[in-house]
Amino acid sequence: VNRAFGILQEQDFEIAWAGTLRHIYQSEQSAPLLSGAACRLLFDKKEMTAADTARAMQYHLAPSQTPMLAAQWLDGFLYGSGLLLLHYPDLWQILNEWVRHLPDEYFRGILPVLRRTFSRFTGPERSKMLDMSKNTGVASHSNVGKETDWDTTRTSGMETLLDLIFS
């Protein structure tokens, strides 16, 4: 529907559609997945500013939300592309803080949803996010983000190759 209205470029339809998206996003009755997707579409259509989107993300990923509902909202919000997180460091930081403060048992419970969400991103998007997580100190749940003992002599050639591939 969103794409169809974009193709038609009828202002009346666009206004009505933005209103519908806003209603879906703001309704307590909306499923978190749909609410997150509506928020993302409103941001993409410039109906929400980056600051408004950051506030929405903070609200939906707040500790007062159940981790599963927050993960479902995030799945809807990030559906289609993770570029948003790469271009808006504030949004990345909100996500990073949320993951860092999840208790281990909740993290394990929502891991399948997070895996599904991030598996939809392109290889370069995931690589960049991995780099960002290393630089911002992402949480250390189970094996995620744990330091390993690397043989830097053996891996230096691989780092150069990976830099060439991902540059």
Per-residue pLDDT in tens (0 to 9) along the chain, 167 residues: 777 777 778 888 888 988 999 999 999 999 999 999 999 999 988 999 988 988 898 889 888 888 889 889 999 999 878 888 888 888 888 888 888 888 888 888 888 888 888 888 888 988 888 888 777 654 444 444 444 555 566 555 556 555 555 55
pLDDT in the model for residue 34: 95
pLDDT tens by residue, 133-146:
777 654 444 444 44
Phi-psi region of 9 (alpha: psi -120 to 50; beta: other; left: phi over 0): left
60, with CB counted inside 10 A (0-12, 13-18, 19+), is buried
pLDDT value, residue 97: 82
* Token reading at 56: 């929405």
Tokens of 165: 């591939």
38: how many CB neighbours lie within 10 A of its CB? 24
pLDDT of residue 126: 87
Return the half-sphere exposure (C-beta side, CA atoms, 13 A cut-off) of residue 122. 8
pLDDT of residue 159: 60
Q: Can you give the pLDDT at residue 140?
A: 42
Instruction: Say how far apart CA 39 and CA 81 lie, in whole Å.
Output: 14
pTM over cut 0.85: no
Cα 119 to the center of its chain, rounded Å: 11
* Residue among 125, 147, 122 at smallest CA distance from 137: 147
